Amino acid sequence: MFGETIKNLRIAHNLNQVQLASVLDVSKQTISNWENNNILPSIDMLIKIANYFGVSTDYLLELDSRRYIEVTGLSDEQIAHIHQIIKDIIS
């Protein structure tokens, strides 16, 4: 469910509900309502959340479990290092 996904992302980024609310310019109550699946964000807010956490809207809506890391602006060598780090973590 959306609520669990956003809560997991928030916790993984070491944010409390107040901090995430501040970043997204919403109230803490809004974050709480999302996490408890009482309401869903607007399409515009869904995009803002996805951009902030570096995930797709499909990921937020649990339509796709793939995750990506933005590497625009990095050199091929830097990207290769990141790939190696990821392989080391997975192993």
The mean pLDDT value for 26-36 works out to 97
Q: Rounded distance, CA 78 to CA 64, Å?
A: 27
State pTM to two decimals: 0.77
Token pair of 53, please? 């956490």
According to CATH, the topology of domain 1-91 is 434 Repressor (Amino-terminal Domain) (1.10.260)
The average confidence (pLDDT) of the chain is: 93
Residue spans per domain, the chain: 1-91
47-73 per-position pLDDT tens digit:
999 999 989 999 999 888 777 788 889
Band (pLDDT 50/70/90 cuts) for residue 35 is very high
Q: Rounded distance, CA 51 to CA 34, Å?
A: 17
